[in-house]
Amino acid sequence: MITVTEARKHLFSLISPLPSEDVPLVQAAGRVLLDDAVARRDQPPFAASSMDGYAVKSTEVEPDAMFKVVGESAAGHRFTGHIGAGQAIRIFTGAPMPDDADFVVIQEDITRSGDLITITGTPGKDNVRPMGGDFRTGTRITAPRILRPEDVALLASMNVPRVAVTRRPVIALISTGDELVMPGEDPGPDQIIASNTFGLKAMLEQAGADVRMLPIARDTLASLQTAFGLAAGADLVITIGGASVGDHDLVGPATESLGMERAFYKVLMRPGKPLMAGKMGDAAMVGLPGNPVSAMICGVVFILPMIRAMLGLGTEIPALQSAPLATDQGPNGGREHYMRALVTGGKVTVFDNQDSSLLSVLSQANALVVRPANDPARRAGEAVSFLPL
């Protein structure tokens, strides 16, 4: 068996960053920007009013000063004339400033009678947004980065209609086992509902992958070989279950018959020990354990970092966080343990029952406490490391 760190190194060696593709901005949210995006204009493209009021010359602004209103500037419709001494332009938020004005007196500081206005308040700032105050032509949004809605709005403002993003990794998910049926079907007396592929699909799509959920493979070499055939073209093939050494665990023999070059088998962790990986042609292959919690935790610990690497976001693993324990914990065994826990009020409560079949416990958890191999007993109040979920 190898450590979690060693397993990650092997997994990263099986993949490489994917190429880019050009997509319209409307499809860019959540994608990984691969090439820098460059602003094609200034924003704002002109000096603009930040308030509703009256545009005047700043040298004429003082309490009780009077002005004659000689025009109007609205968003999309600038005033094109000139402003003389003692003159003002009615202006609205976002409208271009007239060439001869550099100050906006807000309408709350004005009284108006016909075409005459009087400053009745005490004007403060100029209420003018300078040209290019947000960004200038040539300003860059640097890559790589996951494009958030805020980034998409900025790109649109920069007049960038299309962006180069990393192609989504195509992942094929194959659940294995005679005992499995799909949700909504009527299971036999010895069958259970397939859940792992649904949880993993949701997890991996949220991380930016294009996930194909293939039909359940039965416990025969022929069925598994057919399933792998359906996975052709995927960047990563993930099987769930059948990766152990029992008489009905046939993923290993099936992949060997198809020429897989195995990288490792079994990891010093719990849950998730029966994990295998290798290369099948151009695709990476990972065999996850069949226990639901084991599969999901291995997805967090191993598959999510692989997706980030394929998307061009690097191989750095997010740093663990720490918080004090709410209750005492006994010593850990010889494998790194990922324990479902709840972080609330600045403390970590580890769930009592860590059985790897209990999805209900995983659903309540918002963190995985990471106990090193042979970690001694810990008292309440001692700090432990955890991985947020």
CA distance 34 to 163: 8
Write down which residue in 241, 275, 310 finishes a domain: 310
Confirm whether 276 is domain-assigned.
Answer: yes
Mean pLDDT of 95-103: 96
Helix (H) / strand (E) containing 291: none
Read off the CATH number of the domain in which 61 is found. Answer: 2.170.190.11
Give the integer Cα–Cα distance in Å for 196 and 174: 10
Which residues lie closer than 8 Å to 88 by C-beta, 6 or more apart?
A: 54, 55, 56, 67, 68, 69, 70, 101, 105, 117
Give CA separation, 35 vs 155, 184, 354, in Å. 13, 44, 44
The strand pair at 336-344 and 269-270 is best described as parallel
Neighbours of 159 (CB within 10 A): 12
DSSP state, 107? G
Query: What does the pLDDT look like over 189-226, one tens digit per residue?
Result: 989 899 999 999 999 999 999 999 999 999 888 898 89
Domain-located, residue 305:
yes
240 bridge partner residues: 175, 288
Encode pLDDT of 283-300 as tens digits: 999 999 988 999 999 999
Whether residue 255 is contained in a domain is answered as yes
94 inside domain: yes
Same domain for 120 and 158, yes or no, is no
Of 290, 295, 313, residue with least CA distance to 207: 313
Question: CB of 304 within 8 A of CB of 11?
Answer: no
For the domain that residue 213 is a member of, what is the CATH number? 3.40.980.10
Sorted by sequence, the CB contacts under 8 Å of residue 231 that are 6+ apart come out as: 172, 174, 212, 214, 237, 283
Using DSSP's 3-state secondary structure scheme, residue 138 falls into coil
CA-to-CA distance for 54 and 71, rounded, in angstroms? 10
Residue 161: which CATH number? 3.90.105.10
Indicate if 145 and 276 belong to the same structural domain: no
Residues 152 and 256 in one domain: no
Diameter over CA atoms, the chain? 96
**Same domain membership, residue 181 and residue 125:** no
Say if CB 302 and CB 271 are below 8 A apart. no
Give the C-alpha distances (Å, rounded to integers) separating 237 from 28, 35, 174, 370.
Answer: 25, 28, 8, 27
Q: Please report whether residue 243 resides in a domain.
A: yes
How confident is the model over 333-380, as pLDDT tens digits?
999 999 999 999 999 999 999 999 999 999 999 999 999 999 999 999
pTM: 0.86
Per this entry, what is the length of the chain?
Answer: 389
| Inside any domain, residue 315 | no
Q: Is 316 part of any domain?
A: no
Whether residue 255 is found in the same domain as residue 352: no
Interval 111-148: pLDDT, tens: 999 999 999 988 889 999 999 999 999 999 999 999 99
- Cα angle 284, 288, 294; round to 5: 145
Q: Residues 188, 276: one domain?
A: yes
Residues 302 and 215 in one domain: yes
User: Is 384 part of a structural domain of the chain?
Assistant: yes
SS3 content of the chain, % helix, strand, coil (to 5): 20, 35, 45
* Domain limit, last residue, from 276, 310, 344: 310
- Total domains, the chain: 4
Same domain, 289 and 151: no
Report residue 249's pLDDT band, with 50, 70 and 90 as the boundaries.
low
| 119 and 157 together in one domain | no
User: Which of 310, 341, 372 marks a domain boundary?
Assistant: 310
67 and 199, same domain (yes or no) = no
Residues 178 and 146 in one domain: no
Range of the domain at 58: 48-129
Does 238 share its domain with 176? yes
